[in-house]
């Protein structure tokens, strides 16, 4: 299939801290799975991260790490356009144009903003405007498909509404994007059983040290059934993670050990740890390679920036004309 015939897919992740396995199974892995079938764009959402990270050294290091993580999980720079959001300043111009079309009550419906203001946090204008910047990310390159975790679906819907509003006002300009959620792993549970999230401190870091990963896995909350008692795998957080990581036929054996009794939670966690370390071994190797070859990483980003900048410049020329500038 030629590049033109492929659907364009795009997604990004905020560099707000070390990615966890919820980020990986909920979003990042899909990027890798999509890189052959789609014309794929993956970026570092650093403008978005500025709504929460205001320490320049921390932001810079998070950005560098996320780029290494993208390459480590197997995104192939030959197939994917990998770039940094701040290499496309046109996004902020487009955000302004969209800001002039959307209303305050419409933005007040966004979950991220509502959650924060319900908690009594006084939101910055940037946080309030977060979905509009995300709409610009998606619409500027006319993305058709947006792979995200379940919690981001509302933002993609909002991007679709922005496209419609712009197209109704100024004539057909932007493609209407669709979200792409892998339902089987829509929400990865954290070590406490809530949704795994950086903000809940219940994460298993994707590329933590062996010790960090071990500590997190051993801390997964379970009930207090003894090894001999039969257990329900579908209500066990350890088993939920096994379904993502442990290959067959071992997975079926573990399921049987739960249902019939005989497999304790401690043992189940040990197997999970072992399987997880085996699972990430090739990714760690790739990460180490790119970490020790910063010149190659820079080249990849320069190439990505060049590709997206060309698209952005052409599209903004059309948009400026349409709005009357």
Spot the catalytic one: 116, 231, 269, 315. Answer: 116
At 195, give phi and psi (nearest 5°).
-55, 135
- Quick one: what does residue 45 bind among ligand ADP, ligand TRP, none, with the CB cut-off 5 to 8 Å set by partner type? ligand TRP
Q: Catalytic site residue 313?
A: no
Helix ranges (DSSP H) in 15-146: 21-23, 29-34, 46-49, 56-72, 90-99, 104-108, 111-118, 125-128, 130-139
Q: Which of 29, 160, 198, 231 binds ligand ADP (CB under 6 A)?
A: 198
Q: Which residues pair with 89 in a beta bridge?
A: none
- Quick one: what does residue 26 bind among ligand TRP, ligand ADP, none, with the CB cut-off 5 to 8 Å set by partner type? ligand ADP
Q: Binding of ligand TRP at residue 134 (CB under 6 A)?
A: yes
Burial of 71 (C-beta count, 10 Å sphere; 0-12/13-18/19+): buried
Q: Catalytic site residue 270?
A: no
Task: Kindly state the smallest distance separating residue 147's Cβ from ligand TRP, in Å.
Answer: 8
Q: Which of 8, 12, 132, 272 binds ligand TRP (CB under 6 A)?
A: 12
Nearby residues of 134 by Cβ (< 8 Å), 6 or more positions away: 45, 48, 155, 158, 159
Strand residue runs (E) in the chain? 8-13, 39-44, 80-84, 145-147, 178-180
At 145, give phi and psi (nearest 5°).
-130, 135
Q: Binding of ligand TRP at residue 137 (CB under 6 A)?
A: yes
Stretch that binds ligand TRP, among 101-109, 131-139, 233-241, 298-306 (CB under 6 A): 131-139
Task: Kindly state the smallest distance separating residue 23's Cβ from ligand ADP, in Å.
Answer: 4
Whether residue 235 contacts residue 260, with contact meaning beta carbons closer than 8 Å, is answered with no
Q: Binding of ligand ADP at residue 14 (CB under 6 A)?
A: yes
CA gap 260, 246 in Å, rounded: 19
Q: Binding of ligand TRP at residue 11 (CB under 6 A)?
A: yes
Q: Which residues pair with 293 in a beta bridge?
A: none
Instruction: Tell me 142's DSSP state.
Output: T
**Toward ligand TRP, which CB reaches closer, 129 or 271?**
129
Task: Kindly state the smallest distance separating residue 179's Cβ from ligand TRP, in Å.
Answer: 9
Q: Binding of ligand TRP at residue 48 (CB under 6 A)?
A: yes
Q: Which of 13, 75, 127, 273 binds ligand ADP (CB under 6 A)?
A: 13
Q: Which of 23, 65, 81, 275 binds ligand ADP (CB under 6 A)?
A: 23
Instruction: Tell me 5's DSSP state.
Output: G
Q: Which residues form the catalytic set? A: 116, 195, 198
Q: Which residues bind ligand ADP (CB under 6 A)?
A: 13-14, 16, 22-23, 26-27, 148-149, 151-152, 187-188, 195-199
């Amino acid at each position: 299939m030629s590049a033109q015939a492929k659907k364009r897919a795009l997604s990004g992740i905020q560099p707000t801290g070390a990615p966890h396995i919820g980020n990986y199974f909920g979003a990042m892995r899909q990027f890798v799975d999509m890189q052959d079938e789609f014309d794929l764009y993956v970026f570092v959402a650093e403008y978005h991260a500025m709504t929460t990270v205001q320490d320049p050294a921390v932001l810079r290091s998070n950005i560098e790490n996320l780029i290494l993580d993208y390459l480590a999980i197997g995104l192939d720079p030959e197939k994917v356009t990998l770039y940094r959001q701040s290499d496309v300043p046109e996004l902020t111009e487009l955000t302004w144009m969209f800001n002039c079309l959307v209303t305050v009550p419409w933005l007040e419906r966004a979950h991220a903003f509502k959650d924060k203001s319900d908690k009594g946090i006084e939101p910055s204008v940037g946080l309030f405007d977060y979905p509009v910047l995300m709409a610009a990310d998606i619409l500027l390159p006319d993305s058709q498909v947006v792979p995200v975790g379940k919690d981001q679906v509302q933002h993609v819907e909002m991007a679709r509404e922005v496209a419609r509003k712009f197209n109704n006002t100024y004539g057909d300009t932007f493609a209407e994007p669709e979200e792409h959620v892998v339902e089987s792993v829509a929400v990865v549970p954290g070590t406490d059983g809530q949704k795994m999230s950086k903000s809940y401190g219940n994460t298993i870091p994707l590329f933590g040290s062996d010790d960090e990963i071990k500590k997190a896995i051993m801390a997964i909350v379970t009930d207090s059934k003894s090894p001999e008692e039969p257990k329900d795998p579908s209500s066990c957080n350890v088993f939920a993670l096994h379904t993502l990581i442990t290959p067959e036929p071992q997975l079926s054996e573990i399921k049987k050990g739960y249902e019939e009794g005989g497999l304790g939670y401690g043992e189940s966690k040990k197997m999970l740890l072992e399987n997880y370390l085996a699972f990430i071994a090739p990714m760690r190797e790739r990460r180490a390679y790119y970490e020790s070859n910063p010149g190659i990483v820079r080249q990849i980003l320069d190439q990505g920036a060049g590709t997206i900048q060309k698209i952005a410049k052409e599209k903004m020329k059309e948009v400026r004309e349409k709005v009357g500038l």
